[in-house]
Amino acid sequence: MGDVLSVGVVGAGGIARSHMNAMGSCDNIRLAAVMDLYPEPAESAAKEFGGKAYTDLDSMLADPEVEAVHVCTPHNQHGEQVVAAAKAGKHVLVEKPMALTLEACDQMIAACEDAGKVLMVGQVMRYFPISKKVKSLIAEGEIGDVGHLLRRRISYFNPSGAGANNAHWYLNLEVGGVCVLYCFGPHEYDLLHWYMDSPIVKVYAQGNESTSLYEGQKDSYTSVMNHENGAVSVLSQSVVSHTSAHDQFIMGSKGSMMLNHQKLLLNGEEVEIAGTTKEGMPNQIREFADCCLMGRTPDANGRSVRHTMAVIEASKQSADRDEAVMVSEFE
């Protein structure tokens, strides 16, 4: 392996193209191949971004030029494809959610560890400059001991509507899982424990089917979570609100923070952020390549993100069972 990682991308949809586009701003990675079940999108992406086009995963994994893969496919395919890539001797960056089941997460982790390969999950919001700044301010004690966190991600997302990039499969529980939890939730639940390096130990959640858009699955959830360090997080999400909000409040013993997608206030005063959220994807891909080339463990590694998936499962179970749930039940 040289100074530049050669990768193949599994999938040629919207998020896959985001990965391929971001590679252009990274000097330690290059696209060697793209695979999609349908020839046209695979060939179109290969023509635009470079590399070979494949319509069969095994064929791409057999290509010696492909040293690692980015798995950018529907959620229910992640587990099987990551395991196949690891067994073929490839490093793996898999898009969120890591998988729809914890059993699949465990199989992915085991396969990559057995093969001695990097497993990274696309928790791109960890790589936003504003997220990194919040984490560093907490670590530096700028607001003292964190006691309470409130986070909201509320919007209207119609997977069958215009501009949804053919994401109608989000309505299929077998393929996408509960959309509000497995499409958007992996980012939101992940940041809460990551900010403080403090695992979540208990969850009480409530959810409901507010409209008929996501018939058969809950479209709105609120989770109250207890962290190992004593802090309490509250996360509210909805995908059926025609007015949007994406913000957070963090209260500590010596101060507080408020942030939205790009603006951060520390004790009411705006903090300058070096960089924008657009840098998240290149930052993430650059770290993946560095870890593969240098034998390092990524921040968003399989074991770290497996905790996020356990918290999501605990939230789902808590709402279904109408009781508080210990995360240890799933770890």
- The CATH number covering residue 102 comes to 3.40.50.720
Please indicate, yes or no, whether residues 61 and 147 belong to a single structural domain of this protein: no
Residue 142 lies in a domain: yes
> Please, which residues bridge with residue 140 across strands?
none
pLDDT digits (tens, 9 = 90+) for 4-43: 999 999 999 999 999 999 999 999 999 999 999 999 999 9
Residues spanned by the domain of 198: 126-277+308-330
Please indicate, yes or no, whether residues 290 and 270 belong to a single structural domain of this protein: no
Predicted confidence band of residue 165 (pLDDT cuts 50, 70, 90): low
How far is 274 from 1, CA to CA, in rounded Å?
33
Please indicate, yes or no, whether residues 318 and 214 belong to a single structural domain of this protein: yes
Task: Tell me the HSE value of 204 on the side-chain side, using a 13 A CA sphere.
Answer: 6
Residue 148 lies in a domain: yes
Q: What is the pLDDT of residue 167?
A: 73
Residue 302 lies in a domain: no
Residue 230 Rama label (left phi>0; alpha psi -120 to 50; beta): left
Please indicate, yes or no, whether residues 131 and 44 belong to a single structural domain of this protein: no
Please indicate, yes or no, whether residues 265 and 148 belong to a single structural domain of this protein: yes
In 3D, which of 9, 10, 13, 11 has the Cα closest to residue 165? 13
Residue 207 lies in a domain: yes
Please indicate, yes or no, whether residues 55 and 92 belong to a single structural domain of this protein: yes
Q: What is the pLDDT of residue 166?
A: 63
Please indicate, yes or no, whether residues 96 and 243 belong to a single structural domain of this protein: no
pLDDT digits (tens, 9 = 90+) for 75-102: 999 999 999 999 999 999 999 999 999 9
Distances (CA, A) of 74 to 15, 150, 281: 10, 30, 19
Please indicate, yes or no, whether residues 77 and 116 belong to a single structural domain of this protein: yes
Residue 59 lies in a domain: yes
User: What is the residue whose two structure tokens read 């560095």?
Assistant: 290
Residues 6+ apart with CB under 8 A from 295: none
CB 28 within 8 A of CB 1: no
Q: What is the pLDDT of residue 298?
A: 98
Domain count of the fold of the chain:
2
How far is 143 from 282, CA to CA, in rounded Å?
30
pLDDT digits (tens, 9 = 90+) for 171-214: 999 999 999 999 999 999 999 999 999 999 999 999 999 999 99
User: What DSSP string describes 227-254?
Assistant: ETTS-EEEEEEESEEEEEEEEEEEEESS
Residue 159 lies in a domain: yes
Q: What is the pLDDT of residue 71?
A: 98
Please indicate, yes or no, whether residues 169 and 316 belong to a single structural domain of this protein: yes
What's the chain's Rg over C-alpha atoms?
20
Q: What is the pLDDT of residue 164?
A: 55
Q: What is the pLDDT of residue 308?
A: 98
Please indicate, yes or no, whether residues 109 and 96 belong to a single structural domain of this protein: yes
Please indicate, yes or no, whether residues 131 and 267 belong to a single structural domain of this protein: yes
The amino acid at residue 156 is Y
Residue 230 lies in a domain: yes
Task: Note the pTM of the prediction, 2 decimals.
Answer: 0.96
What's the whole-number mean pLDDT along residues 63-78? 98
Q: What is the pLDDT of residue 262?
A: 84
Residue 303 lies in a domain: no
How far is 300 from 220, CA to CA, in rounded Å?
26
User: What DSSP string describes 155-191?
Assistant: EE--TTSTTSTT-GGGG-HHHH-SHIIIIIHHHHHHH
Please indicate, yes or no, whether residues 154 and 97 belong to a single structural domain of this protein: no
Assign residue 240 the CATH number of its domain.
3.30.360.10
